[in-house]
Amino acid sequence: MEQKRTTPEFITELQPNEIFVFGSNLKGMHGGVETIRPYVDEFIQFAKEHPTLTFLVTRIGCGIAGFTDDEISPLFEKAHNVENIVLPPRW
């Protein structure tokens, strides 16, 4: 069984058709994980609709936003079956 590719800790370059996916909040407000869920679901749907692109997802929300991998990674559960979404290790 082939292991699925994971996002490297540091992304220093992108290949053609690769998209760098990171979290950003322009207002500086950090709501609960359930507030984030609709945006993650929307992203997953977008990725499904654009199979020629590869999305390299970083550890969204796990830096200055203060969430843990255990809080955020379940939001990406539906992304595991989407071939063009690359998730961080252990997500």
* 11-55 confidence digits (pLDDT tens): 999 999 999 998 876 565 555 687 889 999 999 999 999 999 999
Position 79 scores a pLDDT of: 97
**pLDDT at res. 72:** 94
Average pLDDT value for the chain? 89
Residues 6+ apart with CB under 8 A from 7: 56, 57, 58, 86, 87, 88, 89
How much is the pLDDT for 61? 86
Q: For residues 17 and 52, is the Cβ–Cβ distance under 8 A?
A: yes
Task: Give percent of the chain above pLDDT 70.
Answer: 88
